[in-house]
Amino acid sequence: MKNLSIFLLVLLGVFTSCTIDNTDGVSSITNYPIITLNGPDVLFLNQGDTYTDAGAVSTEGGAVIETTTSFSKGVYFGGDFGTDSPDLYFVTYSAINKDGFPGTATKTIWVKPSTGNLTSDISGLYSSDVQRGPSFSVTAQYSALNYVFIKKIGTNKYAISDAVGGYYDIGRGYGSNYATSDATITVNDLATNSFSFTPGPIAAFGITLNMSNMVVDATTKTITFTSTYGTASSGVFKIQLKQVQL
């Protein structure tokens, strides 16, 4: 019993000493910044919409403190934030308390391209299903991947945010550095599904993807194509994009 009492006294000393300021012997409390977003944390905007940021409120111990707002570059195409530039963006709200401790909160903004009719325009925001060789099996991990952009960059030329349909970026969760966002699509004749492609790299892997076999179906609002790297069957991906009607 005596040993137990000594142990409890030592333990009590450990828990109480951790709150003592060694400099002046007084307790110190830090209130970390709390950041509350105004409005939803995910927004979908149409290309060309007018956008006014709703901002956020930062508090420290209930008192309002300064909030700093910053917009990321476009995740896939790298441009400055703007509703004329379809892409995925993040808005970061930051605050620092009186003791120098930071806090952040983030809002996600999808600026989606104009929704093409798929008879003369293939622009749009798409959900993606990807099957990989050699089995080309359908799995939940690589189905309904949100989202892939196709945006118009010329009279009959389009940029795609990921020529492998989000397989690595979204399906495996590796992030946008594993997206093939430099590939382009040139529509030679949409009625006959005649297209030309510029290959795109996945720099993180040191490989280049080549697109082919594209078919656009305006009735089902789908685009299917194949992306390939190397000669092995495991380097063949079959992608189906379903246009999202938001």
Last residue of a domain, one of 112, 138, 161: 112
CATH number of the domain to which 168 belongs: 2.40.128
Q: Which amino acid is at 208?
A: T
Q: Is residue 35 part of a domain?
A: yes
Q: Which of 82, 91, 75 is nearest to 48 (CA)?
A: 82
CATH number of the domain to which 50 belongs: 2.60.40.10
Q: Are 137 and 131 in contact (CB under 8 A)?
A: yes
DSSP track, 86-130? -EEEEEEEEEE-TTS-EEEEEEEEEEEPP---SSS---EEEEEEE
- How far is Cα 124 from Cα 222, in angstroms, rounded to an integer? 11
Q: 214 and 168: one domain?
A: yes
Report pLDDT for 245.
87
Q: Is residue 236 part of a domain?
A: yes
Report pLDDT for 24.
54
Report pLDDT for 16.
33
Q: 98 and 131: one domain?
A: no
Domain count, the chain: 2
Q: Is residue 117 part of a domain?
A: no
Full residue range of the structural domain in which residue 151 is found: 124-243
Q: Is residue 8 part of a domain?
A: no
* pTM reported for the whole predicted model: 0.84
Q: 175 and 148: one domain?
A: yes
Q: Which amino acid is at 182?
A: D
Q: List per-block mean pLDDT (blocks of 10 residues) for the chain, which spans 246 residues.
A: 38 35 59 96 96 96 96 96 96 96 97 96 98 96 97 96 97 95 96 97 92 98 96 95 92
Q: 177 and 153: one domain?
A: yes
Report pLDDT for 144.
98
Q: Is residue 7 part of a domain?
A: no
Q: Which of 235, 164, 230, 166 is nearest to 197 (CA)?
A: 164
Report pLDDT for 11.
36
Last residue of a domain, one of 80, 112, 144: 112
Q: 131 and 75: one domain?
A: no
Report pLDDT for 15.
32
Last residue of a domain, one of 56, 84, 112: 112
| Both tokens assigned to 194 | 């005649």
